[in-house]
Structure 1
Amino acid sequence: MIDRRHLLIAGAATVTALGGTRFAMAQATMSRITAYGFSFPALKGGDIRLVDSVGKPIMIVNTASQCGYTPQYAGLQNLWSEFHGQGLMIIGVPSNDFGGQEPGGTTDIAETAEHQYGVTFPIAAKAVVRGPNAHPFYKWAAAERPKDLPGWNFHKYLIGRDGYIAEVFPSAVEPGDTRVKTAIGRALLVT
């Protein structure tokens, strides 16, 4: 015959174990990393800390100076001019990962972005955006959206106000595309 005390103790242990599991699952969900946990070295020194844009949408774009998509710098600058005052942050991340189309250094990158295309949004130092040596943000983005990895230069991640990837736009989607502007508008409205 089973002693009632043993049955109650076993039941309490089961409830505690289940509650502990639920607590651990809830805690893991609550502490899930957001984009705000990352930063990029800035092209001209210092850091571009995403945490400085908490609660604001951020568009992160891997760029290159010698690519057929390089004129998208102008479209990104137009987005910056149109939406930055409402809270949008744009960060260009130069990368030599695709076709060796960003072979230059800081001066060359600045010449293309700032002087040829009039870019005033932040530009990071050159970074790796794919593979095992990718910048931590790009590793995080690959884990978050494994089917939406950068396939070429000017791949766009739109981070929502919650710090998670809201939309992804491949290279061929121009910054001025209605889909991009609509997604940005939606991200700016979400509270």
Structure 2
Amino acid sequence: MGIYDFKVMDRKGNEVSLSEFKGKVLLIVNTATGCGFTPQYKGLEELYQKYHDKGLEILDFPCDQFGHQAPGDDDEIHEFCTMKYHTTFDQFKKIDVNGENAIPLYNYLKEQKGFTGFTGVKGALMKTVVSKFDPDYENNPNIKWNFTKFLVDREGNVIDRFESTVEPKKIDDKVAGLL
């Protein structure tokens, strides 16, 4: 099974086959509107504007599993993102990324690329926070927090995983290299 075999729900509840994105570079992100990393929406939109015409698609999956930081329904979340951060990339239905209700796409992504480590100034804080609810976090592939990003090449291969502490501007070169 590959990435193009999965189906997801758009924010209106319509089924979308990821096969619609064949030939595109994908950045798949679980997001939240009330998180310390929420300003990454700005960087994601900048990447999207810079590279969309060259084949980049950003697939935004709101997730409320980390500190209840994605309250509201799908329309409220979408309105927040478009009003505050002027996002124009695809936003899908709110999902779970871990546990028994995790959507199959995220189970697949985690199988392809496990945890890569927290970095930067916020890395030490994230290690402290995450270790409280997941003492073995370094050794399992679960999504640790909001704004974990998966980079998929034009052939559907999951190339890289970037944890929440990695700002979108830090992956510009990797995205550009796949376009």
Structure 1 equivalent of residue 172 of structure 2: 181
Distance 1:146 1:173, change over 3 A: closer
> How big is the shift at 1:47?
3.4
Does the Cα contact within 8 Å between 2:25 and 2:151 map onto a contact in 1?
yes
Q: Per chain length, whose mean CA-contact separation is higher, i.e. which structure has more relative contact order (CA < 8 Å, sep 6+)?
A: 2
- Output the TM-score relative to the length of structure 2: 0.81
Structure 1 equivalent of residue 80 of structure 2: 112
Q: Which amino acid aligns with 2:167?
A: E
Structure 1 equivalent of residue 123 of structure 2: none
Q: Deviations over 1:116-173 (max 9, x none)?
A: 1101000001000112210110011122223454210000000111212111111011
Structure 1 equivalent of residue 108 of structure 2: 140
Q: Which amino acid aligns with 1:166?
A: I
Structure 1 equivalent of residue 7 of structure 2: 39
| Structure exhibiting the larger radius of gyration computed from Cα positions | 1
Does the Cα contact within 8 Å between 2:113 and 2:160 map onto a contact in 1?
no
Gaps of 5+ in 1: 1-32
> How big is the shift at 1:181?
0.9
Does the Cα contact within 8 Å between 2:31 and 2:146 map onto a contact in 1?
yes
> How big is the shift at 1:38?
1.5
Q: Please, what is the CA RMSD of the aligned residues?
A: 1.3
Q: Deviations over 1:57-83 (max 9, x none)?
A: 100000001101111111111111000
Q: Verify: 1:161 aligned to 2:161, yes or no.
A: no
> How big is the shift at 1:95?
0.3
Q: Secondary structure at the match of 1:112?
A: helix
Structure 2 equivalent of residue 77 of structure 1: 45
Q: For this pair of structures, how many residues does the alignment match? A: 154
Distance in 1 between the 2:22 and 2:88 partners? 20
Distance in 2 between the 1:174 and 1:112 partners? 20
Distance in 2 between the 1:75 and 1:47 partners? 27
Structure 2 equivalent of residue 122 of structure 1: 90
